[in-house]
A and B are shown apart, each in its own frame.
Chain A
Amino acid sequence: MTIIAQKPKSLLDVPMHYCPGCGHGIVHRLMAETFDELNIAERVIGVAPVGCAVFADSYFACDMVQGAHGRGPAIATGIKRSKPGAIVFSYQGDGDLASIGMAEIVHAAVRSENITVIFINNAIYGMTGGQMAPTTLVGQVATTAPKGRDPKLQGWPINMCEMLAQITGSKYLARVAVDCPQNVIKAKQAIKKAFENQVNEVGFSMVEVISQCPTNWGATPMQALEFVRTKMIPQYPLGVFKDEGAK
Chain B
Amino acid sequence: MPRIEVDANKCKACYLCVNACPKKCLGKSKTISKKGYFPALQERPEDCIGCKMCYLVCPDVAITVIK
User: Could you tell me which A residues sit within 8 Å of B by CB distance?
Assistant: 1-8, 11, 15-16, 18-26, 28-29, 178, 180-181, 184-185, 214, 221-222, 225
Label chain B's interface by main secondary structure: loop
A236 to chain B, nearest CB (A): 19
11 contacts between A and B (CB under 8 A): A1-B66, A2-B67, A5-B52, A6-B65, A7-B61, A16-B61, A21-B12, A22-B59, A25-B58, A29-B58, A29-B61
Interface centre among B52, B58, B59, B67 (most CB of A within 10 A): B59
User: Could you tell me which B residues sit within 8 Å of A by CB distance?
Assistant: 2, 9-10, 12-16, 19-20, 35, 37, 50, 52-53, 55-61, 63-67
In the complex, the answer to whether B52 meets A21 with C-beta atoms within 8 Å is no
In the complex, the answer to whether A6 meets B59 with C-beta atoms within 8 Å is no
Partner of A222, one of B13, B19, B66: B19
CB-CB nearest in chain B for A187: B56
In the complex, the answer to whether B65 meets A225 with C-beta atoms within 8 Å is no
The 3 closest A-B pairs by CB, nearest first: A25-B59, A21-B14, A20-B12
A5 to B58: give the CA distance in the assembly, Å.
12
Contacting residues, chain B, for A214 (C-beta < 8 A): 14
B1 to chain A, nearest CB (A): 9
Contacting residues, chain A, for B10 (C-beta < 8 A): 15-16
Contacting residues, chain B, for A5 (C-beta < 8 A): 52, 55, 63-65
Given contacts A16-B61, A181-B57, could you give 17 more A-B pairs where the C-beta distance is less than 8 Å?
A1-B66, A3-B64, A3-B67, A5-B52, A5-B55, A5-B63, A6-B65, A7-B64, A11-B61, A15-B9, A20-B12, A23-B59, A25-B59, A26-B57, A184-B57, A221-B14, A225-B19
CB-CB nearest in chain B for A15: B10
In the complex, the answer to whether A20 meets B61 with C-beta atoms within 8 Å is no
In the complex, the answer to whether B52 meets A4 with C-beta atoms within 8 Å is yes
In the complex, the answer to whether B59 meets A24 with C-beta atoms within 8 Å is yes
A16 to B9: give the CA distance in the assembly, Å.
10
In the complex, the answer to whether A26 meets B67 with C-beta atoms within 8 Å is no
A22 to chain B, nearest CB (A): 6
Interface centre among A1, A5, A16, A29 (most CB of B within 10 A): A5
In the complex, the answer to whether B14 meets A20 with C-beta atoms within 8 Å is yes
Contacting residues, chain B, for A185 (C-beta < 8 A): 56
B11 to chain A, nearest CB (A): 9
A83 to B10: give the CA distance in the assembly, Å.
35
Contacting residues, chain A, for B13 (C-beta < 8 A): 20
Contacting residues, chain B, for A28 (C-beta < 8 A): 61
Instruction: Given A15-B60, A25-B60, verify A180-B20 contact (CB < 8 Å).
Output: yes
